[in-house]
Structure 1
Amino acid sequence: MRSDLNKIIESSRGIERINLDDHLLSERKIFLEGDIRSENCTDIIKALMLMDGQADKEITLYINSPGGDCESGLAL
């Protein structure tokens, strides 16, 4: 995902621009893009564990991957 994408929100502090990736994470949405590797699966597992401990709301995982490392995929 492009890191230069932003979302404009209105808050108690006025109008703010936040990074789209940060906004999606705050809405409990995670994206797996590209090959499944140990590095990106570890980051996703950490995010899932953090979100799971915060609330009992649904977490959505979007996968756009051609495949990759089987062990990493099984860990996820």
Structure 2
Amino acid sequence: QHGEVDLAMLALFGGLDDRTLAAYDEVYPLAPMWDERVPLWQLYPLLVHVVLFGGSYVTSVERAFVACL
């Protein structure tokens, strides 16, 4: 599942494109429904960003939390 965390971080900060995803999946095949777990893996880094950089990340935390439900 560490691969999912890597992909979630790339997606969070805009670095996950189709080419990168295909290359990653070729080396480390992704589990079914991995993309549905992305918001879960993004929660902790988003919460850290709220603490470090302030409330501008609160909306992203709320969005990720709702997506996890």
For the criterion TM > 0.5, the same-fold answer is: no
The structure with more radius of gyration:
1
Question: Could you tell me the TM-score, scaled by structure 2's length?
Answer: 0.36
Question: Could you tell me the TM-score, scaled by structure 1's length?
Answer: 0.33
